[in-house]
Amino acid sequence: MDAADIVASVLVLGIIVVSLLSNVVVLICFMYSPEIRKQVPGLFILNLTFCNLLLSVSNMPLTLIGLITTGHPGGSGFCQIVGFLDTFLTTNSMLTMAALSIDRWVAVVFPLSYHSRIRHRDAVIALGYTWIHSLCFSTVATCRSWVGYNHLYASCTLCSVRAKGAGTQFIIFTVVLHSLTFLLTLIVLCVTYLKVLKVARFHCKRIDVITMQTLVLLVDIHPSVRQKCLDEQKQRRQRATKKISTFIGTFVVCFTPYVITRIVELVTPGPINPHWGVLSKCLAYSKAASDPFVYSLLRHQYRKTCSLLANKVLKRSTFNSSSLRIENNARRSDNSSNAPNDVQPPTEKPLGQ
C-alpha cells in the first residue's frame, strides 16, 4: 500500500462520512417537515437520498477495503450483487437529477400552471421510469456476468476483463449505457437550467429597470442607499448564475472523468494508470456527498427545518439536565433532613449493672 493508496483511502473514508451524515440529515428533514413532504420535488430528493445512502453503505466501503487490502473484497457472488447496485444506483441518481431539473424548469417558466402540470402522480411516474431504466441496464450486466471486481477502480462494478468473450456486445452495452444515462442527463441539465437562467435574468432586468427608475425619481436619496441598491442588483444577477453553475458544474466535474475513463478503457489496448481510475471513481462517489448540499440543505426550507430540529434537541437536553439537577438537589435536601432522625440516642444502662 503506497502513499497514493493511503491518500485515496482517506479520501474515500471522508466521502463516506460526509455522504452518510448529510443524506441522513436530508432524510430526517423530509420525515419531520410536512411542508417538504407536500412538495413534488421532495419525492425526487427522497429518491436521490435513498440512492446516495445505499451507495454509501454498499459500494463505498468495499472500495475502501479494496484499497486497504489491495485485493478482492468478498466472494464473487457478493461482488456481483454490489456491482449490480453500483450500476443501478448511479443510473438512478443521474436520471433523478434530470427529473429535478425538468421540475425546476416548469416551476420557473410556467409558475402559474406549475401545480396543474407537475403533480405527485407525475413525479411517481417519472420515478417509476428511472427505476425501470436503471433495472434494465443493471440486470442485463449482471445476467451477462459483466460485473465483478475491477482493479482499475478498486471496486465491484462493470468489468471489461470478465466481458472479454463478449467483445463488441460489451462495448455497445457500455456506450449505450453512458449515452442514455450520463449524456442524456447532461443534455437535460444544460437545456433546462440554461432556460431557467434565461428567465431569471429577464426578471432581474425588469427589476433593475424598476429600481433605476425609482432611483432617478428619488433625487434626495443618500448616495450610500443608491450604491446599496446597485450592489443588490449585481448580487441578484450573480446569485442566479452561481446556482445554475453549481447544478451543472458538480455533475460534470464528478461524473465526466469516470465516464471518459470507461470509454477510453474500451478503445485503448494499453493499461490505464490505476491511480487515475481510483481518482475518477472517488469523484463519482463525491457526487453522493455533494447532492444533499446542492439540492437540499442550502435551501431555505431545509435550513429552517434543521434549525427547528437543532433547537428542539438543545431545549430537550437543557430541560433534561435542569430536571436532573433539580432532582439531585431534592435528594440531597431529603438526605440532609432525614439524617438526624436516623441517629438513635444511646440507651442508658441501669445503675445496678
DSSP string over 108-120: HHSSTTHHHHS-H
**pLDDT tier at 300, thresholds 50, 70, 90:** confident
Asked if the model's pLDDT at residue 103 lies above 90, the reply is yes
Model pLDDT, residue 353: 40
Q: How many CA atoms lie within 13 A of 41 on its CB side?
A: 19
Residue 254's pLDDT band (boundaries 50, 70, 90)? very high
pLDDT value of residue 166: 64
How big is the chain, counted in residues?
Answer: 353
**pLDDT tens across 7-30, in order?**
889 999 999 999 999 999 999 999
Q: Distance between CA atoms of 55 and 19, rounded to whole angstroms?
A: 9
Instruction: Please give the model's pTM, rounded to 2 decimal places.
Output: 0.81
Third-level CATH fold of 3-307:
Rhopdopsin 7-helix transmembrane proteins (1.20.1070)
Return the bridge partners of 90, or none: none
Distance between terminal CA atoms of the chain? 90
User: What is the tens place of the pLDDT at every residue in 142-157?
Assistant: 998 888 888 888 888 8
Q: Helix, strand or coil for residue 5?
A: helix
Please check whether residue 52 is in contact with residue 292, taking contact to mean a CB–CB distance below 8 angstroms.
Answer: yes
**What are 301-315's pLDDT values in tens digits?**
888 888 888 888 887
Between CA 256 and CA 188 the distance in angstroms is 15
- Better-scored residue on pLDDT, 336 or 147: 147
Helix axis angle, 76-109 relative to 120-143, nearest 10°?
A: 150
- Residue listed under C-alpha cell 478498486: 154
